[in-house]
Amino acid sequence: MDLILFLTFAFVAVACAINLVLQTHPISSALSLVGVMGSLAVLYLLLGGEFIAAAQIIVYAGAIMVLFVFVIMLLNAEGEPVAMGPKLSRTLGIPLIVALAGLLAFIVHRVLPPGAGVAFGKFTGGTALDVGRKLFTDYVLPFEVTSILILIAILGAVVLARKEIH
């Protein structure tokens, strides 16, 4: 059952990611990215991360991507025309990407120690209780620093997006 769920959602994630890269209109790309995030949330659930799965949907898919969709709609973005690069880069492109992915996957397989595999329910330490406990004891300094970071980001966004009144 884990295998079927993993394969289904991994396939959906990769299909949505390829769709993101290949679509011309930014809105279709944005919604494909939402699809990637949704399937990743299911994969996090399979890995026992229930809080992080909910945070992925609430924060990433439900707020950040909504911001992207808003900006695309506000700017009335259109599909970008297809640009043809030089012949050399067109022929070498896909083989180089596959080579890069293959190299990284090979390194991962060599370095990773053999384990028992991922079964749903083996790791129950990803609840909100565990995350909260760790977050407010061991990681309280990064937590406070990120809250200041968000404040700076809000200020920066407001200043940058303001209309100049001459």
Partner 1 sequence: MNFYLLTLIKAGVVALVLLTSLAYLQWAERKILAHIQLRQGPYRVGPHGLLQPLADVIKLMTKEDLLPPYVNRFFYPFAPFLAVMLSLIAIAVIPFGPEVSVFGQRTLMQLTDLGFGVLFLLAISSLSVYAVALGGWASNNKYSLLGSLRASAQMISYELPLAMAVVAPLLMANSLSLREIGEAQAGFYLGFIPRWFVFQWPAPQVIGFLIFLVAAFAETNRLPFDLPEAENELVAGFHTEFSSMKFAAFFMAEYSNMITITAFATLLFLGAWHPPFPAGWGSDYVPVLVFLTAAAVSLYHGLNPARGRDRRSLPVVSLAFFAVGIAFGVPLLQTYLTPVFWFAAKTGAILFLFMWVRGTLPRFRYDQLMGFTWKFLFPLSVANLLFTGLVVALSGE
Partner 2 sequence: MTSLTAVPLSWYLTLSVILFVLGVTGFVIRRNLITAFMCIELMLNGVNLSFVAFSYELKQVDGHIYSFFVMVVAAAEAAVGLAIILAVFRSRQTLLSDEVNSMKL
Check residue 160 for interaction with partner 2 (CB under 8 A): yes
Which two structure tokens, joined as six digits, stand for 99? 């080579």
Which two structure tokens, joined as six digits, stand for 136? 């407010």
Given 8, 35, 36, 92, the residue binding partner 2 (CB under 8 A): 36
Return the residues of window 100-129 that contact partner 1 according to CB under 8 A: 127-128
Check residue 51 for interaction with partner 1 (CB under 8 A): yes
Check residue 93 for interaction with partner 1 (CB under 8 A): no
CB 34 within 8 A of CB 65: yes
> How far lies 7's CA from each of 55, 120, 132, in Å?
23, 14, 31
Return the residues of window 97-126 that contact partner 2 according to CB under 8 A: 97, 100-101, 104-105, 108-109, 112, 115-119, 122-123, 125-126
Which two structure tokens, joined as six digits, stand for 98? 């596959």
Check residue 15 for interaction with partner 2 (CB under 8 A): no
Q: What H or E segment, with its residue span, contains residue 133?
A: helix 128-137
